[in-house]
Every structure is written in structure tokens, then in C-alpha cells.
Amino acid sequence: MITTPITSKGEQARSQLIAAAIAQFGEYGLHATTRDIAGLAGQNIAAIPYYFGSKEDLYLACAQWIADFIGSNFRPHAEAGEALLSQPSPDKTEIRALILRASQNMILLLTQDETVNLSKFISREQLSPSPAYQLIHDQVIAPLHGHLTRLVAAYTGRDPTETDTILHTHALLGEILAFRLGRETILLRTGWTQFDEEKAERIFQVITCHIDLLLNGLSQRS
């Protein structure tokens, strides 16, 4: 699990507990035990109520950590997009470049072993949503999904509020997510043993091709 810089013993313990909890919750949901979480973190079980309160509170703390992590990675893309779209006539080449940069960043994150537990946590929440998913959705997923939808709409001349535009954007995101959720399939089909920098670049080139097909195809239909 990717962690943030630690400035105190308490923050270190809290960070270790969150990393362990994301791993355990991603695997077992709320059926994960506080004993196993504390053991994986190398902490006393009493540290969980001390730092978080209940197991449910720890679960929400994990969701907040994930929201903060995603937000810190994609906030620069969103800010650049807002600045571009605020212009009277945004340049289509720049719009495409922003979509590609955001997609490449997603690919790099989703092909790292360090983010597997994070993906498991979010995937479980997608299939069986709890208040934790609403937190992640409201803080980062909905804003980023909307941001990318507006970029696609601006390039293609479509309405960003139309359901079809949202669906097309979601389909694009799904192509990228498939390399995480279908990780074992693509490794077996390609004969790769793991995702590395070279494999991530090859995936990005394929996604780039698909993005151009989508953008040009929708532009012609518009």
C-alpha cells in the first residue's frame, strides 16, 4: 500500500492500520476481523478503538484515505481541464492531450501491485455499496467522471449532461479498468508475467488508439 509521509509515532500506527485494513476489507469486506487487521499492521488490537473508534469507523477512514489518494493523483488533471474548458473556444488538440494524460495516469496506477488492495476495496463497494462508497463517489469519482465527460463532450460537440455522453465516457473508463479487473486474463493471454513500465506503455498505446476512435467517431456523429 502506498503511504503518506509519517511525522509521529501515532500517525505511523494509524497509517499502518489503514493500510492493513484496506487489504483486509478489500478481501473480506466488513467480515474482516479487527484482530487480523491489527496483526497485519503489527499493532495491538486496542489501537483500533483508540485511533478510530469502531471497525465501521475504521472502514470509513479507509474510504477517506482512498478518496484523498485518488484526489491527490488526479486533481492536477481536473484543474488543467477546468482552466481549458473555461476558455471561449478550447483547443481540441489540448482537450485530447488532457484526456490522454488522465488515461495514462490511470493506467500507471492500475498496473502497480501497490494499488491492488485499493482496487479490491473499491470493486467490493461497487458491487455491494455502503456509505463508504458514497463518500468516495461524492468526493472524487463523480467529480472526475464528470470532468472527463465534459472533456469528451467539448471535443465531440455533444451535450455533457446527455446520458449517451456519460455512457460513452464510462465505456472509455471501463476499457482502462479492464486491465485491472481482468488482470489475470490479460497476463495469461499475452504470456506476460507481470505489468511493468514497458507493458503499461503498450497498454497506453492501445487505449490511445481507442480514445481517438471514440472521439473521432462521436465527432462525426455529432
Name the residue ranges covered by the structural domains of the chain: 63-221
pTM of the model: 0.90
CA 150 to chain centroid, in Å, comes to 18
Alpha helix positions (H), the chain: 9-28, 34-41, 47-51, 55-85, 92-110, 116-127, 131-136, 142-156, 163-181, 183-190, 197-221
> Cell numbers 473556444 label which residue?
89
Look at residue 192 in the predicted model and tell me its pLDDT: 96
Percentage of the chain surpassing pLDDT 70? 97
Checking if the pLDDT of 86 tops 70, the result is: yes
Please give the C-alpha separations between residue 168 and each of 108, 214, 217, in angstroms, as whole numbers: 22, 8, 11
Average pLDDT (167-171) is 97
Average pLDDT over residues 207-215: 97
Calpha distance 29→46 (Å, rounded): 20
Q: What pLDDT is attached to residue 155? A: 97
Q: Cα–Cα distance between 148 and 214 in angstroms, integer?
A: 13
Q: What is the pLDDT of residues 138-161, one digit of tens each?
A: 999 999 999 999 999 999 999 999
CATH 3.90.380.10 assigned to 63-221:
no
Q: Give the pLDDT confidence score for residue 7 in this predicted structure.
A: 57
Give the whole-angstrom CA distance, residue 183 versus residue 163. 29
Phi/psi class of residue 33: alpha, beta or left (left: φ > 0; alpha: ψ in -120 to 50)? Answer: beta
If pLDDT is split at 50, 70 and 90, which confidence band does 10 have? confident
- 181 vs 4, more confident: 181
Given a cut of 80, is residue 88 above it in pLDDT?
yes
